[in-house]
Structure 1
């Protein structure tokens, strides 16, 4: 357990839970050795939290935000699950057979259900977390009832369970991050919006890894912010078993914890800004002249972060022994340098945050007018990336069951000029993303950018599912909770989901080598 969390909690208690830079920060930061003080008076937090809890139960909070009755969110969750189940049944009715990647996942899961853990489909690239979760959920039911529950509909149901838990986890995260300043009704609507985020929500109807992978990473983050790094690291291991790229988000949390530990053991204060980083580097230079103190400081930091480090080290050993990250079909999933993925993600972010983007349009234009040379430089860099790093995966051109096939063939592939015309949108998208995380610390911003790049850039295939976690992590940091925007966004997402559902149910076509009708998904 690391002590700085105690200090930060104490400071936040005395500064209205916000950690804002007011006189209390100055008071605490003047202490060279504040640890005994923090430990001596940390009970103030307990009394203060008790006071807040009593006020909440009486319908009041310190900042005037009235909480909602506790039964409201379970009702919303129940309604959400019921409506999702209706969509689930509709999808199963028209597509009772395994579809696209399900033709690999479902037979593999059924082998696991039969106790066959040896045979492995070489086309599957992910670790067996999805199948282990399924038999963990369905196995006890099968044992009790005496019949197998590993058919297509039951396996798909695991993602229906997963999407309900994801909505609950998102709500808990938003409550923790924003609950003291944002109305509870707004938080429920914001949670609902992210729960029906179209690219994510669609895969609750099929047997893919995306829903459970996202859920596990979000639970890991929830445990981390609740100062339970050991449990978070365990959840990180489970998340990696669901999808190997989740190791990036384990590294993201490890980086945040390491920065906190550095701040505590060197500056005796959190590292929030670029100025704090400069102070840290200056302090490290001084410590480097004192080998004993430097070694002690480094040992303390390693001890604080060792649990995440063990997970990352174990993954590195796996990669070395396995000869790569993926466990199958390596020819189709070779890591590559695909910088255009960053541009695609920025455009993707705009597409699914249009109402927030409209709020940022005016300040963005003002910034461009103020710094035209920077805008020009960014445009030139993007143009260079478009020119030299536009990579087209064979799957993108061959599989017309995905929306990206049509986007590419109607725009990017057909009109070369289009690739350059959307460069301003890439830059604007990056600006909007940064506006979502601008209130976070310098370390969070740097680590988020690094994690997003690590998730996306090695991927050769343009696949919207890869954008889900970078999108959600940024959106969870949003500070704007306008009723108007939240309502418009809810309607927007519902319409998109309704259209994609209609297309899947009603639009079919034939492939020469496959007897079943084909459909279109994300």
Structure 2
């Protein structure tokens, strides 16, 4: 099995190199956000000892290669993250699992792995932080967490996730953990959540020693925010924090549309997940009442907190421009028509993730998604990259045929988006991209 996956890994890397070469042949000048990143990187590259000693030629192709190299690392770290959630023995280091290879072709990660963007390096640094924490290497996780924050300042949230995920799994399987109430998620209710919160102080003495490295990161991050005058490093005018509640709904819908094989291809197949979602939304009077109350709340938040960002209204080089104009702006009622779908998608993911986890394990990711997505005013699929893969990694029972379907689905998306970007440039518009 290991030799087979090594061959697949080599194929994965070979295809990535071929795609990178085509990007460099066709897109010879920095594109979209690259003009903001490349000049600074080239200036630094020409100044460092690496260039002076080894005479590396600093150019756009080399910079894009550094991003693609992180794409090579993605299957290796995803294998360890999946192994943590699935509680399986890890394969040899250079033999990533087939599921990890499939997830490494996730369209957002794959596409931006060939441009000089920070998406994939940020993702890999976050996942490495989580993996190190799950292996109880907390000081190393803290160091990796600092690295991740250089790519994206809000990655500090995922540093906290790394700590929380590692500790909750440890407490779950440790006998005599001091009385933390953390029952299986599928059978839990609101009362269980309250009991979990009230019982948390009992285990704080046990949790605090491992938290020390992460406390150092929070202190350093707080100092940075004070020194910088805010979280954003760079163009603050176009990154003003907001209260964008519908962004959470867009994420859930995006996760369901792009990750439907993982949602539908679990034990029992599509019929089982559909039955469970229907029961949770309409199974009894209390459930129906809850669904109505949630729908009303969502309607109010859509009405009050939908943001028509200037970029999404003007930049017709992104798919979201057309989705926004041709779907959400088709009629004033359209955004509200998606409310039942948002709820169904959220319940579907909850059922899939909660099937093998405790209540707090299932809740920690949605809770930490809030401070990462709520302040972002622009509908941008790149913002969903880290949350999606952390969510998908928690689904432990995707059937083999489901992994194959997922791989084919990603491949179709990747071929289409790459083809359009490279070969369907429009003179007055430019290249279409995520």
Q: TM-score, normalised by structure 1?
A: 0.74
Q: Does 1:210 align with 2:119?
A: yes
Are 2:28 and 1:96 equivalent residues in the alignment? yes
SS in 1 for 2:241: coil
C-alpha change, 1:242 and 1:376, in structure 2 (3 Å) is same
Q: Paired residue for 2:319?
A: 403
Structure 1 partner of 2:277: 364
- What CA distance in whole angstroms lies between the structure 1 residues aligned with 2:157 and 2:78? 20
User: Are 1:521 and 2:427 an aligned pair?
Assistant: no
CA distance in 2, matches of 1:246, 1:282: 28
Is the 1:261–1:301 contact (alpha carbons within 8 Å) kept by the matching residues of 2? no
Kindly state the Cα deviation for residue 180 of structure 1 after the two structures are TM-superposed.
Answer: 3.2
- Matching residue of 2:267: none
For 1:150, the equivalent position in structure 2 comes to: 58
- Match of 2:115, SS? coil
Task: Give the Cα separation in 2 of the matches to 1:223 and 1:261.
Answer: 14
Q: How does 1:333-412 map to 2 (within 5 A)?
A: 333-358=239-264, 359=270, 360-370=273-283, 371-412=287-328
Deviation at 1:376, TM superposition (A): 1.3
Query: d(CA) in 2 for partners of 1:265 and 1:80?
Result: 42
Give the alignment of 1:431-442 within 5 angstroms. 431-438=347-354, 439-442=356-359
1:37-52 mapped onto 2 (5 Å cutoff): none
What do the CA deviations read for 1:76-128 (whole angstroms, capped 9, x no partner)? 2111011111111122211110001000100010111133xxxxxxxxxxxxx
Match of 1:37 in 2: none
- Equivalent residues, number: 413
Q: Distance in 1 between matches of 2:369 and 2:313?
A: 25
> Aligned residue for 1:180?
88
Q: Are 2:372 and 1:455 aligned?
A: yes
Contact 2:302–2:336 (8 Å) recurs in 1: yes
Q: List alignment gaps of at least 5 residues for structure 2.
A: 265-269
The answer to whether residue 385 in structure 2 is matched with residue 472 in structure 1 is: no
How far apart in 2 are the matches of 1:266 and 1:316?
35
**After superposition, what is the alpha-carbon deviation per residue over 1:421-460, rounded to whole angstroms, capped at 9, x for unaligned?**
1111111121122123212232222321121111100001
Deviation at 1:506, TM superposition (A): 2.0
Please give the alpha-carbon distance, in whole angstroms, between the structure 2 residues aligned to 1:342 and 1:237: 26
Asked whether 1:311 is paired with 2:220, we answer no
Counterpart in the other structure of 1:503: 420
CA distance in 2 between counterparts of 1:267 and 1:283 reads: 11
Provide the secondary structure at the position in 1 that maps to 2:97. helix
Q: Distance in 2 between matches of 1:500 and 1:277?
A: 45
User: Map of 1:275-354 to 2, 5 A cutoff?
Assistant: 275=192, 278=195, 281=198, 284=201, 301-354=207-260
**Is 2:394 aligned against 1:481?**
no
Question: 1:154-165 maps to which residues of 2 (within 5 A)?
Answer: 154-165=62-73
Q: For 2:42, which of 101, 110, 115 is the aligned residue?
A: 110
Greater gyration radius: 1
Equivalents in 2 of 1:249, 1:357: separation in Å?
Answer: 23
Q: Deviations over 1:470-501 (max 9, x none)?
A: 10011101122212211111111101111101
Q: Greater relative contact order: 1 or 2 (C-alpha under 8 angstroms, separation 6 or more)? A: 2
The Cα RMSD (Å) is: 2.8
